[in-house]
Structure 1
Amino acid sequence: MTIRYHCRHCKTEIGSLPFESARETLRLLEELDRKEEERFLTVGKDGDLTVRCICEECEHTLQSNPDYYTFTKWIQ
């Protein structure tokens, strides 16, 4: 099992952790409520876990353009 991190805005793969290195991350993910799980986590057919987060570029763009927070999808 691998934990993969993808930007929820631009879909860029940010990185991944093999299961053996991800124990602390898994412990943190257990604290998510049901809505957060549905919004941020996906389990693939191969058992890999994908975490939707935000990359540095998208974070910088949102900080520079706070009105983008009002859009459901701001990257075309």
Structure 2
Amino acid sequence: MAIIYQCRHCKEEIGRLEEQVLDAALLGIDQLTAKEKQEMLKYQEDGNIKIFAICDACEDTLQEHPHYHELDYFIH
């Protein structure tokens, strides 16, 4: 099982944790609301969990262009 962090905007893989057993509390997943979990987590058929976050490049772009927050996808 892997936890895969992917940017919600540019779709680049930010990071990956390859572990047999992962503690949701250590990752902070238990701190998310039900709505946040629905928006940020995708459980894949192969047992992996994809977590949608924001990469550094997209975060920098959002700071430079705050109106981009309205968009689900943008190219930087």
TM-score band w.r.t. shorter chain: 0.7 to 0.9
Amino acid at match of 1:40: M
User: What is the percent sequence identity of the aligned residues?
Assistant: 38
The number of equivalent residue pairs is 74
Segments ≥4 residues shifted beyond 4 Å: none
TM-score (norm 2): 0.85
Q: 2:10 aligns to what?
A: 10
Matches within 5 A, 1:12-31: 12-20=12-20, 22-23=22-23, 24-25=26-27, 28-31=28-31
Q: 2:64 aligns to what?
A: 64
Unaligned runs of 5+ in 1: none
Unaligned runs of 5+ in 2: none
CA RMSD of aligned residues (A): 1.9
Rounded Cα–Cα distance in structure 2 between residues aligned with 1:21 and 1:14? 20
TM-score (norm 1): 0.85
